Amino acid sequence: MLIRSRRGYELPESQVTPEALVLNRRAMLGAGAMLLPSVALSSHAAHAQAAAVPALPEHQRNLRFRPERDITAEREATTYNNFYEFGSSKSIARDAARMPLRPWTIKIDGMVARPREFDVDELIRLLPIEERVYRLRCVEAWAMTVPWSGFQLSELLKLVEPQAGARYVAFQTATLPAVMPGLRQSWYPWPHVEGCTIEEAANELAFMPVGMYGKPLQGSNGGPFRVVFPWKYGFKSGKSVARITFTDRRPDTFWNKIQPSEYGFWANINPEVPHPRWSQASERILGTSERVPTRLFNGYGEFVSGLYTNLQRERLWT
Ligand SMILES: Nc1nc2c(c(=O)[nH]1)N[C@H]1C(S)=C(S)[C@@H](COP(=O)(O)O)O[C@H]1N2
Ligand SMILES: [Mo]
């Protein structure tokens, strides 16, 4: 495999990155706040990471969801990330390796008949785990294809029984200041919360990975537990989820709070609706020099287009 210390596209990409623009502008106001004493960090992390991560149980690939693209090289997918809790560059993987993956508790609250806390290993025991190869399309117009291991979000819904009035689901990322230097960037509306409607959560594509490439999910990619909505821009897919709340009010979501005109609540993928600052017509395949046309709903329309037929007045595509 070709190994380079820096990818040629990294710099141009980060210059057009919306997130990075916001960051750079504000960073000048708060310069200095971003430096953390790395010695203190690593000694804390050594302590926090004492518990071992068990291997995933045996499971099989679900062939219903065909990738129609080559799987992205594992090294690309695990080292080119967006994870602002660790900073705004794509190269956060090493820092994110400090994420304390065990023990990990997920709190489920709000409008459910059975609110409770789960240990992540308990969820892995309780729910049917499978592998799904999904395409992931970032709003910045790069894409990768990933074999995720995890469970269908609807299985979790069955476990906690949403109440009839629950209309939305909010996914909150853990805030761990000792290992997440990005949290010091106090102009961001931490904690990271993303959300969807209850119908979207119940859709068979909505998935909760606990692994990728057959291994437990590492911190860089949102381990130990995240969500993915493959028909929506990647920023909707919250990482390292610690709390899931069922509610009757549309959650205030992270990027929507930062820049509502550019990052809507729905963020469904549509090549014909440009981002205000660039086209969404095509995408760059991570780890290659290829650019390919973007597809409506990232090519998953057969599964999800029915979710939106009565919502024409909403801004479904940004
Ligand atoms: N908590 C949290 N979740 C997040 C992000 C983030 O910064 N923080 N970035 C999002 C964005 S913009 C994308 S494209 C995907 C990237 O996931 P990956 O790094 O596993 O490719 O995670 C999403 N989930
Ligand atoms: Mo993204």
Is residue 46 scored above 60 in pLDDT? Answer: no
Which helix (H) or strand (E) is 256 found in, with range?
helix 254-258
> What mean pLDDT is predicted for residues 242-260?
97
Q: What pLDDT does residue 58 have?
A: 97
Is residue 42 scored above 50 in pLDDT? Answer: no
Could you tell me the pLDDT band of residue 50, with boundaries at 50, 70 and 90? low
Per the structure, the complete domain to which residue 258 belongs is given by 33-308
The SS3 assignment for 111 reads coil
Does residue 252 lie in a domain region? yes
Which of 114 and 37 is assigned the larger pLDDT?
114
> What mean pLDDT is predicted for residues 240-253?
98
pLDDT tens-digit readout, 266-285: 999 999 999 999 999 999 99
Q: What pLDDT does residue 32 have?
A: 43
Could you tell me the pLDDT band of residue 40, with boundaries at 50, 70 and 90? very low
Q: Is residue 146 a contact partner of residue 77, using CB atoms and an 8 Å limit?
A: yes
Amino acid at 149: S
Amino acid at 130: E
Give the global pTM: 0.87
Is residue 47 scored above 90 in pLDDT? Answer: no
**Chain centre distance of CA 128:** 21
Q: What pLDDT does residue 44 have?
A: 47
Does residue 316 lie in a domain region? no
| CATH number of the domain to which 241 belongs | 3.90.420.10
Q: Is residue 294 a contact partner of residue 281, using CB atoms and an 8 Å limit?
A: yes
pLDDT tens-digit readout, 93-137: 999 999 999 999 999 999 999 999 999 999 999 999 999 999 999
Average pLDDT over the chain reads 89
Is residue 301 scored above 80 in pLDDT? Answer: yes
Does residue 130 lie in a domain region? yes
Nearest-CA residue for atom 20 of ligand 1: 221
Nearest-CA residue for atom 24 of ligand 1: 238
For the chain, how many structural domains are there in total? 1
Q: Which atom of ligand 1 is nearest to the CA of 77?
A: 21
Cα-to-centroid distance, 296 and ligand 1 (Å): 21
Nearest-CA residue for atom 11 of ligand 1: 235
Does residue 169 lie in a domain region? yes
pLDDT tens-digit readout, 206-235: 999 999 999 999 999 999 999 999 999 999
Does residue 110 lie in a domain region? yes
Does residue 57 lie in a domain region? yes
Does residue 83 lie in a domain region? yes
Is residue 298 scored above 90 in pLDDT? Answer: yes
Cα-to-centroid distance, 127 and ligand 1 (Å): 24
Q: Is residue 196 a contact partner of residue 229, using CB atoms and an 8 Å limit?
A: yes
* Long-range CB contacts (within 8 A, 24+) of 25-32: 26/185, 26/187, 27/185, 29/187, 30/185, 30/186, 30/187
Q: What pLDDT does residue 159 have?
A: 96
pLDDT tens-digit readout, 151-198: 999 999 999 999 999 999 999 999 999 999 999 999 999 999 999 999
The SS3 assignment for 269 reads coil
Residue in 279, 261, 197 with CA at minimum distance from that of residue 232: 197
Does residue 10 lie in a domain region? no
Cα-to-centroid distance, 58 and ligand 2 (Å): 30
